[in-house]
């Protein structure tokens, strides 16, 4: 089968959608399908690249919204729409990722023109930008353009029940929908030994015995990095941050206790998880963050917000939830770092078991190959 896979970006651009799409492209190719992956170019140059069973098509795009405001919302330049149309026309199935990106909307329109079936993976619900005019416009876009993309799909795969619930309550209750959680390579993301932790820390320039907390994600307001930094300001904790964005200046109060790695190849991510004592993601408006399930697979205790995004994880002993306020978040993180050896071991085992039961590649691949087969018929 020929599959057109359409996302806003592809690796080495960093983001959960890109990594999930990369997993899927590998799964589809290994199953004997031919994949043409179309996305906007950044940081790679525009162009075409062919691999066995996989074509990568990187489009020229207008990326100013991300470079200036941290919003990864690239707009293909006019020549790119022809590439999208050709990919869709040649496909037996079009797999779209998130319903509001311009490349995805263009691919959905092409699928209608050429009468090609679509499968949509919806990674997030609506994220508030603090009111004003942006939130009503975004909600209106989901209710109109987004709903049209989702309604046209043979099936919509939501990454979590929380995202599915938001769309069925706020956008369209009649969507043909499944819930398919994201997945990680459990052989790569695993519990590190003490020796592996020491080597991982040395590889990113960390010395000494101070506890290390890891944050991984775009440095944008919804991630609440500023609150996390304020929480750690009067502690001995070192903060390792993997990611970049407009909130990078928030790290300044920590001085040399903050280590930022703006871009890291995804195959190196197991090293930074191995280097950490705990993972912190006090964000709001998430779907199912890939970094969080990678942390769980790595056996890290994860401190997250009380946002409804994380409600489905409440039963995991490797998850600790906190009010996103500096003093409370500080107490929560210090409490985690100062737990007894027995409690830490219990949380490590619980986090890993939770990931093994829910986020393995085998079941993930089986689910999507089934959806592809059903959507294409």
- pLDDT for 254: 96
Residue 37 counted as domain residue? yes
Smallest Cα–Cα separation from 75: which of 52, 56, 101? 101
Asked if 203 and 320 sit in the same domain, the reply is yes
Asked if 174 and 206 sit in the same domain, the reply is no
CATH code of the domain containing 138: 3.40.50.2000
Asked if 246 and 129 sit in the same domain, the reply is no
Q: Do the bridges between strand 75-76 and strand 61-62 make them parallel or antiparallel, or are there none, so unpaired?
A: antiparallel
- pLDDT for 220: 85
CB 217 within 8 A of CB 289: yes
Asked if 176 and 323 sit in the same domain, the reply is no
Residue 189 counted as domain residue? no
CB 147 within 8 A of CB 169: no
Asked if 131 and 63 sit in the same domain, the reply is yes
Q: Residue 300 to residues 16, 235, 355: CA-CA distances in angstroms? A: 19, 20, 11
- pLDDT for 202: 94
Asked if 254 and 317 sit in the same domain, the reply is yes
Asked if 220 and 110 sit in the same domain, the reply is no
Placement of tokens 């979590």 in the chain: 160
- pLDDT for 69: 67
Asked if 324 and 212 sit in the same domain, the reply is yes
Asked if 110 and 241 sit in the same domain, the reply is no
**Average pLDDT value for the chain:** 94
Residue 117 counted as domain residue? yes
- pLDDT for 330: 98
Residue 170 counted as domain residue? yes
- pLDDT for 246: 87
Total structural domains within the chain: 2
Asked if 148 and 210 sit in the same domain, the reply is no
Asked if 84 and 224 sit in the same domain, the reply is no
Domain of residue 224 covers 194-358
- Sheet holding 47-51: strands in order across? 47-51, 54-59, 34-40, 2-6, 93-97, 118-122, 155-158, 177-179
Our measurement of the distance from residue 162's CA atom to the centroid of its chain's CA atoms, rounded to an integer in Å, reads: 15
Residue 65 counted as domain residue? yes
- pLDDT for 131: 61
Residue 19 counted as domain residue? yes
| pLDDT tens per residue, range 34-49 | 999 999 998 899 999 9
Residue 75 counted as domain residue? yes
Residue 133 counted as domain residue? yes
With a cut of 70, list the residues of the chain below it in pLDDT.
Answer: 69-70, 128-132
Return the structure tokens found at 221: 């307001």
Asked if 341 and 365 sit in the same domain, the reply is no
């Amino acid at each position: 089968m020929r599959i057109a896979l359409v996302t806003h970006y592809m690796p080495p651009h960093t983001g959960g959608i890109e990594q999930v799409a990369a997993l899927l492209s590998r799964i589809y190719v290994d199953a004997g399908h031919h994949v043409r992956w179309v996305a906007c170019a950044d940081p790679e140059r525009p162009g075409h690249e062919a691999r066995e069973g996989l074509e990568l098509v990187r489009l020229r795009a207008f990326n100013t919204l991300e470079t200036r405001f941290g919003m990864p919302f690239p707009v293909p330049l006019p020549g790119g729409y022809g590439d999208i149309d050709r990919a869709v026309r040649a496909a037996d199935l079009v797999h779209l990722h998130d319903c509001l990106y311009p490349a995805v909307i263009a691919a959905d329109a092409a699928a209608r023109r050429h009468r090609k079936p679509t499968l949509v993976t919806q990674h997030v619900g609506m994220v508030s930008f603090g009111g004003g005019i942006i939130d009503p416009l975004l909600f209106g876009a989901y209710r109109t353009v987004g709903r049209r993309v989702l309604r046209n799909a043979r099936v919509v795969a939501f990454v979590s029940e929380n995202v599915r619930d938001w769309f069925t309550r706020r956008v369209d209750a009649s969507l043909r929908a499944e819930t398919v959680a994201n997945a990680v390579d459990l052989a790569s993301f695993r519990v590190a030994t003490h020796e592996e932790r020491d080597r991982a820390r040395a590889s990113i320039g960390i010395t000494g015995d101070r506890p290390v907390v890891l944050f991984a994600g775009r440095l944008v307001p919804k991630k609440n990095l500023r609150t996390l930094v304020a929480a750690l300001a009067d502690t001995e904790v070192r903060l390792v941050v993997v990611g970049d964005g407009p909130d990078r200046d928030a790290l300044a109060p920590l001085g040399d206790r903050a280590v930022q790695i703006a871009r890291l190849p995804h195959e190196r991510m197991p090293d930074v998880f191995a280097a950490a004592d705990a993972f912190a993601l006090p964000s709001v408006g998430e779907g199912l963050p890939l970094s969080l399930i990678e942390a769980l697979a790595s056996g890290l205790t994860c401190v997250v917000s009380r946002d409804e995004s994380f409600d489905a994880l409440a039963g995991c002993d490797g998850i600790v939830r906190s009010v996103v306020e500096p003093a409370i978040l500080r107490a929560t993180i210090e409490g985690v770092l100062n737990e007894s050896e027995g409690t830490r071991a219990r949380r490590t085992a619980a986090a890993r078991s939770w990931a093994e039961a829910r986020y393995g590649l085998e079941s993930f691949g089986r689910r999507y190959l089934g959806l592809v087969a059903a959507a294409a018929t």
